[in-house]
Amino acid sequence: MLRYRADVRTLAILWIYALSTLAAWRAAPHGWALLAIISLLSLSSWLCAVIAHNTVHAPIFTRRWLNQAFQVWVSLSYGFPVSEYTPGHNLSHHRFTQMREDVMRTTKVRFKWNLLNLLFFFPAVTPAILRSNAAFRRLEGQRAKRWRRQLLLEAAVVWSLKLGLVVLDWRKGLLLVVTPQLFANFGIVTINYLQHDGCDAEHPANHSRNFVGPLLNFLALNNGYHGMHHLQPGLHWSLLPEAHARLIKPALHPALEQRNLAVYLFRTFVYPGKRLNYDGTPVVIRDEGPDRSWLRGDPDSGEDFGAFSGAS
C-alpha cells in the first residue's frame, strides 16, 4: 500500500517518536535525565514535522482513506494539524518564493545581528501564516471543502488529545508533549531561513541552500536537498539526491551546497555571524511593502493550487 518502499523509514520515525513519548511518560525522569529526554523528544518531533511537510507534497499511501488517517497520525506526532501546511507553504511559499506573496519570506527579519534574525524569524512570519490559513478556510470549491474537512478532523484529534494529556498530568503534558512539539513547529518554520536567506529566488538553481551531509539527510528524509524539492515539489523524498545531482548541482553555486549543518550554523550565526548572500556580498533588504495576497485562481485548479494534502 506504500507508494515507495523507502517510506518504511517514515513509519519507523513515527513509531520511534510515539514509543519514546510513552516510555518517557511512564519513566517520569527528573533532573538532567529529564532535560536529555526533552531534547530527544524535541528532535524526534521535529523529524515528524519533516514528515508532515513531505506528506502534504507526496502522499505515502496509494489509498485516499489511508492518507487521511496517516495525516491524523502525523498531526499527533508533530503536534499541529498537517493540513495547515497547505496555505502558507504549498500555495504561498512554493509558488511565490521570497516575493511579497510569500508569507514566509526571509526579508521579514532585518536585525543587524544575524542570530536575532534566526531566532525571531518564527514570530515574524507566524501572524501572516495564521491569516493565510484563515483566508483559505473561507474559500469555496470542492478541493477547498475537502481540505477543510480534513483540517477539522486533524485539529479535533490533536487538540483533544493534547488537552487531555495536560489535564491528566500537567507537568508531564507540558514537558514531554507540548514543549517538544512547540520546538518541532519552531524548527520546521525556522529552517526556511537557512534554506533561502541570501539566495537568488530568480535563478534556476541558486534559489535554495542545500545541506547534503549524509547523516542529516538519512535522519531528515533528504530534507537537505531543498533546491530540488522546489524544482519538483511533488517528487518523493527518496528520489531527491539523484535528481539534485542531475538537475541542480551542475548550475548551483558551490556555496549553496553545504556539507556540514553545524559548521554553517556557527559561521553564519556565531562567528563571524554576518548576513551574507551566497556569493559573499552583504544582504541588502529594500523596502518591499506589506504582504500581497497569494489567493489567485480557481481553488479547483491543479495548476494554481497544487496538491492540497494527502487527503486529496
Q: Indicate whether 312 pLDDT > 60.
A: no
Q: What is the largest CA-CA distance in the chain?
A: 55
- pTM more than 0.85: yes
135-to-42, 85, 146, 236, 298 alpha-carbon distances in Å = 30, 14, 15, 29, 14
Segment 247-302, tens digit of pLDDT: 999 999 999 999 999 999 999 999 999 999 999 999 999 889 999 998 865 444 44
Task: Verify cis geometry, omega within 30 degrees of 0, for the bond prior to 180.
Answer: no
Given this model, what pLDDT does residue 144 score?
84
The H-assigned helical ranges of 58-141 are 64-78, 85, 114-137
Q: Where are the domains of the chain?
A: 7-286
Single-letter amino acid code for the residue at 60: I
Single-letter amino acid code for the residue at 295: L
Q: Indicate whether 306 pLDDT > 80.
A: no
Segment 160-195, tens digit of pLDDT: 999 999 999 999 999 999 999 999 999 999 999 999
pLDDT-based confidence at residue 310 (cuts at 50, 70, 90): very low
Helix (H) or strand (E) holding 176: none
The H-assigned helical ranges of 58-113 are 64-78, 85
Task: Write out the three cell numbers for 45.
Answer: 518531533
Q: Indicate whether 308 pLDDT > 80.
A: no
